[in-house]
């Protein structure tokens, strides 16, 4: 029993001594840790803050370089600022990693991660600067910043540094509390704090481990997206139908896509390294030299050129050339070439047709003058001789009065009827027909002149012009009590005389063809679109039968009442003038209800310009 008690006491004493020893050892170790924290952790925390500040500086200067380029700030270019910050970051990270104050393998892994992220931050920043110098678009660079620079490098690095700093400060705080308040009073509290610290460290390890796995997954996904995007861009360039040439500063080809090589009959390998003069005939080289001077000034342009194929033949192309710059210096030319052989052939055919059309118009004009001259000559003769016949008839009539008493009554009646009724009536018919034919000839000449008169375009206030036309029709409008409604009309660029003739003819027709059995109404309105202005003149007149719609714009034809004065040429004149304003005209009508004439005037006519028949489309 005693032995058992002694053993029990001994056990208790051993346990007490063990507790004392453990407590003493824990106290000594905590004090050593505190000394280590004061000597190493605080400086290391400051070093981490410097790393974080340098990373922020790199991010700021990289974004500034994307937006503003390599400008000078405080005596240094942005690129020099960046290079200086890169060096600072590498120095701070190396110094931090070589420090012997790691508390465990987990922290060491975190420090290694800080080094990796810092190196990637420098690498991506340098890559963005390089892409910017090579002429990449800002939206592409911002996409890289968003996907790689920010989400996967900068923000993880900053968050890792914040967590690292927080962990050091937490250890410092816990160690200070353990040493100064409870180290010599409650060993169990030390053990509990140790356990809690261990659990906290494990928890932090789990969090860091989970975040690290997530980061690796996102990193792999980003790399895969970048690879797919690179393949996609290469496929676009390689499969483009247009030829793509890239030249260096000396004019040698550094890249030629398959379409460009096929256009010239070479392979891409044959052209790479060759000078551009190999593919440009000597008589076309001054064009390229002038264009390259613009490229060196940073100016892009488009121009037509003939290239020399491998077999010696020529191919016309349209070149879109853009300068390339590296580090702010001219580095070469990127040009896209489009084969325009088919377009040139079409232009040649169109020119041929235009020449034929111009010749036909000239012949028609000559024909109109010749016909009018040849027709007018016999008409003048007819009119002159009919006048002589009327004079002779008067002389015969005065002479026949002396012979009438010597004739019987029947002969007297025959002679009197012939001389005083039949012959004068025939002469009246001849003179009327001659006058009508003369009017037709004048109408043909007038229509021909409308088609050949030079138009002068100016700003025309359509409100004022329509009111002026309505004033000339005021008597008829007041007499027939016609209600005229004119909506707000826009200003247009047109030939003023032509617009007066168009509106005058259409409004005059609207008045002439109103139905007297109901109050007359005429409406004038307009609508503006991007390419043209649309005018409408509507009335509630007789309307036009469907069978007569094809006569509306035909010369010498009427599509309504035949008792209206005129030759039937008004709408033919209007159609010609509208076409010369690059417009259209059409008619919509319902018999017994009314008619609407709609015409358009192009908005592309230039003020101060003029249009001759040879310029008409």
Question: How far is C-alpha 220 from the geometric centre of its chain's CA atoms?
Answer: 37
Q: What is the pLDDT of residue 221?
A: 85
Q: What is the pLDDT of residue 584?
A: 95
CA–CA gap between residue 51 and residue 88 (Å, rounded):
8
- Mark the ranges of the chain whose per-residue pLDDT is less than 70: 1-45, 95-108, 148-152, 154, 157, 168-169, 171-213, 360-377, 379, 436-453, 555-568, 608-617
Q: What is the pLDDT of residue 601?
A: 95
Q: What is the pLDDT of residue 1?
A: 42
Q: What is the pLDDT of residue 5?
A: 41
Non-local (6+) Cβ contacts of 305 within 8 A are 280, 284, 287, 288, 316, 317, 318, 319
Chain length of the chain = 617
Helix axes 496-512, 570-580, angle to 10 degrees: 150
Q: What is the pLDDT of residue 87?
A: 78
Q: Which CATH superfamily is domain 240-339 in?
A: PAS domain (3.30.450.20)
Which segments of 404-495 does DSSP mark as H helices, in order?
409-417, 423-452, 462-472, 474-479
Non-local (6+) Cβ contacts of 563 within 8 A are none
Assess contact for 341 and 335: CB atoms under 8 A. Answer: no
How buried is residue 453: exposed, middle or buried, by Cβ count under 10 Å (0-12/13-18/19+)? middle
Work out whether strand 301-308 and strand 532-539 pair parallel, antiparallel, or are unpaired.
unpaired
CATH architecture assigned to 2-237: Up-down Bundle (1.20)
Which segments of 255-305 does DSSP mark as H helices, in order?
258-264, 268-271, 285-296
Q: What digits encode the pLDDT tens for the residues 438-452?
A: 666 666 666 566 555
Q: What is the pLDDT of residue 494?
A: 94
Q: What is the pLDDT of residue 202?
A: 64
Q: What is the pLDDT of residue 39?
A: 59
Q: What is the pLDDT of residue 585?
A: 95
**Residue carrying the six token digits 């192309």:** 317
CA–CA gap between residue 437 and residue 381 (Å, rounded):
13
- Find the radius of gyration of the CA atoms of the chain: 50
Q: What digits encode the pLDDT tens for the residues 346-382?
A: 888 888 887 877 776 666 666 666 666 666 667 677 7
Q: What is the pLDDT of residue 443?
A: 61
Q: What is the pLDDT of residue 233?
A: 77
Q: What is the pLDDT of residue 464?
A: 94
Strand partners, 527: 534
Q: How many CB atoms lie within 10 A of CB 259?
A: 20
* Cα dihedral across residues 405, 406, 408, 413: positive or negative: negative
CATH architecture assigned to 454-615: 2-Layer Sandwich (3.30)
């Amino acid at each position: 029993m005693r032995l058992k008690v002694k053993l029990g006491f001994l056990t208790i004493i051993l346990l007490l001594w063990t507790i004392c020893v453990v407590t003493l050892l824990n106290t000594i170790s905590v004090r050593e840790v505190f000394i280590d924290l004061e000597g190493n952790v605080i400086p290391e925390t400051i070093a981490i803050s410097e790393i974080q500040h340098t990373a922020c500086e790199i991010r700021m200067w990289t974004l500034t370089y994307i937006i503003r380029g390599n400008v000078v700030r405080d005596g240094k270019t942005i690129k020099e600022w960046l290079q200086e910050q890169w060096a600072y970051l590498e120095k701070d990270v190396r110094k931090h990693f070589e420090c012997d104050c790691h508390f465990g393998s987990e922290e060491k892994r975190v420090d290694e991660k800080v080094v990796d992220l810092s190196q990637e931050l420098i690498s991506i920043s340098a890559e963005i600067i390089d892409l910017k110098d090579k002429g990449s678009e800002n939206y592409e660079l911002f996409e890289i910043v968003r996907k790689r620079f920010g989400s996967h490098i900068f923000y993880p690095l900053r968050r890792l540094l914040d967590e690292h700093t927080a962990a050091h400060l937490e250890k410092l705080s816990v160690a200070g509390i353990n040493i100064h308040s409870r180290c010599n009073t409650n060993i169990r509290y030390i053990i509990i704090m140790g356990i809690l610290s261990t659990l906290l460290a494990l928890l932090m390890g789990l969090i860091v481990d989970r975040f690290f796995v997530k980061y690796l997954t996102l990193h792999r996904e980003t790399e895969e997206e970048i690879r797919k995007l690179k393949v996609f861009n290469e496929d676009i360039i390689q499969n483009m139908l247009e030829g793509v040439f890239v030249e260096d500063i000396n004019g040698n080809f550094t890249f030629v896509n398959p379409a460009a090589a096929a256009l010239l009959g070479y392979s891409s390998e044959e052209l790479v390294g060759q000078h551009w003069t190999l593919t440009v005939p000597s008589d076309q080289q001054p064009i390229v030299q002038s264009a390259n001077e613009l490229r060196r000034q940073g100016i892009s342009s488009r121009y037509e050129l003939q290239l020399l194929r491998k077999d010696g033949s020529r191919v016309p192309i349209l070149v879109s050339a853009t300068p390339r710059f590296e580090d702010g210096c001219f580095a070469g030319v990127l040009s896209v070439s489009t084969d325009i052989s088919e377009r040139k052939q079409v232009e040649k055919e169109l020119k041929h047709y235009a020449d034929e059309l111009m010749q036909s118009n000239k012949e028609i004009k000559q024909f109109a003058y010749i016909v009018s001259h040849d027709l007018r000559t016999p008409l003048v003769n007819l009119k002159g001789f009919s006048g002589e016949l009327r004079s002779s008839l008067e002389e015969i009539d005065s002479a026949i009065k002396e012979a009438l008493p010597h004739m019987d009554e029947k002969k007297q009646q025959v002679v009197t009827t012939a001389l005083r009724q039949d012959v004068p009536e025939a002469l009246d018919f001849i003179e009327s027909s001659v006058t009508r034919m003369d009017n037709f000839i004048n109408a043909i000449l007038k229509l021909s002149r409308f088609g050949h008169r030079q138009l002068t375009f100016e700003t025309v206030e359509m409100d004022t012009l329509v009111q002026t036309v309505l004033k000339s029709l005021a008597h008829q409008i007041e007499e027939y009590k016609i209600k005229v409604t004119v909506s707000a009309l826009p200003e247009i660029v047109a030939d003023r005389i032509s617009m007066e003739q168009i509106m005058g003819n259409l409004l005059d027709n609207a008045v002439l063809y109103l139905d007297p059995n109901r109050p007359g109404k005429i409406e004038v309105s307009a609508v503006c679109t991007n390419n043209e202005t649309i005018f409408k003149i509507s009335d509630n007149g007789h309307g036009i039968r469907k069978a007569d719609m094809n006569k509306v714009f035909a010369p010498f034809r009427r599509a309504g009442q035949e008792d209206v004065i005129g030759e039937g040429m008004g709408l033919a004149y209007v159609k010609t003038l509208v076409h010369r304003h690059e417009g259209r005209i059409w008619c919509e009508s319902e018999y017994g209800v009314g008619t609407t004439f709609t015409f358009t005037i192009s908005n592309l006519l230039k003020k101060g310009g003029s249009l001759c028949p040879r310029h008409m489309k």
